[in-house]
């Protein structure tokens, strides 16, 4: 009896269990999936469907590098009404708002300065502005702490309440690299 079972199992050229593989996707399916993913992750879609994270005072992390005209209403909701406009020495627009200042370079928000409602420690100040509180290296200066190349920002300045204090009362985030200044 065992011999019959053994011979019946070994006689077939094909395996007893076949793996079922789905057919490869068609070109149209791949194109449709790519289009859906591009729409879902597009900057404009992120701006339209924006939800402010819980515990964030002003979402500086979200606004840096975005086009001013696309996020103007969101900025007014978080920063308050526009108080005035100026042009700095480099020809960039400066928007003065109730809770902070925006510097706009070629239509994109480049630098954001926010006064915090109360002095906070470094990690709490970073989280109040939408950043991770896990910056591992702070450069310490007499009037500020500085974080460089963090979460897509070139520099984040955490301004101290006083020279000897560890508390932060203002945050400045700079998105783009320094512009080359021509000496005349």
Three-state DSSP state, 129: coil
Output DSSP code: residue 100. Answer: E
Cβ within 8 Å of residue 64, ≥6 positions away: 109, 110, 112, 152, 153, 173, 175
Say what the pLDDT of residue 144 is.
86
pLDDT score for 182 = 42
For 124-149, how does the pLDDT look when each residue is reduced to its tens digit (9 = 90+)? 999 999 888 887 788 788 888 888 88
Average pLDDT, the chain: 81
Could you read off the pLDDT of 53-88 as tens digits, one per residue? 888 899 998 888 888 888 888 899 999 999 999 998
CA dist., res. 156 & res. 160, Å (int):
13
pLDDT score for 124: 92
Give the residue carrying structure tokens 């320094």: 178
β-strand partners of 145: 140, 158
- Do the Cβ atoms of 74 and 47 come closer than 8 Å? yes
- Residues 16/9, Cβ–Cβ less than 8 Å: yes
Domain-wise residue ranges, the chain: 43-174
Query: Average pLDDT, stretch 25-37?
Result: 77
Say what the pTM is.
0.70
**Predicted pLDDT at 148:** 86
Higher-confidence position of 24 and 95: 95
**Contact of 96 with 88, CB cutoff 8 Å:** no
Other beta carbons within 10 angstroms of residue 158's beta carbon come to 25
Q: So what's the pLDDT on residue 79? A: 92
CA Rg value for the chain: 27
Lowest mean pLDDT among 25-34, 61-70, 95-104, 152-161: 25-34
Give the pLDDT score at 43.
Answer: 58
């Amino acid at each position: 009896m065992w011999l019959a079972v053994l011979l019946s199992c070994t006689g077939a050229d094909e395996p007893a269990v076949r793996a079922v593989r789905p057919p490869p996707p068609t070109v149209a399916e791949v194109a449709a999936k790519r289009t859906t993913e591009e729409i879902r992750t597009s900057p404009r879609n992120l701006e339209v469907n924006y939800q402010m994270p819980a515990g964030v005072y002003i979402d500086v992390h979200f606004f840096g590098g975005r086009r001013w005209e696309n996020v103007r209403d969101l900025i007014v909701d978080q920063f308050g009404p526009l108080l005035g406009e100026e042009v700095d020495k480099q020809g960039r627009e400066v928007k003065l708002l109730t809770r902070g200042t925006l510097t706009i370079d070629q239509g994109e928000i480049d630098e954001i300065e926010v006064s915090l409602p109360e002095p906070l420690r470094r990690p709490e100040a970073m989280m109040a502005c939408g950043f991770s509180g896990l910056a591992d290296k702070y450069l310490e200066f007499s009037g500020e702490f500085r974080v460089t190349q963090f979460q897509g920002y070139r520099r984040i300045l955490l301004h101290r309440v006083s020279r000897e204090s560890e508390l932060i009362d203002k945050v400045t985030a700079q998105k783009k690299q320094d512009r080359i200044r021509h000496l005349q």
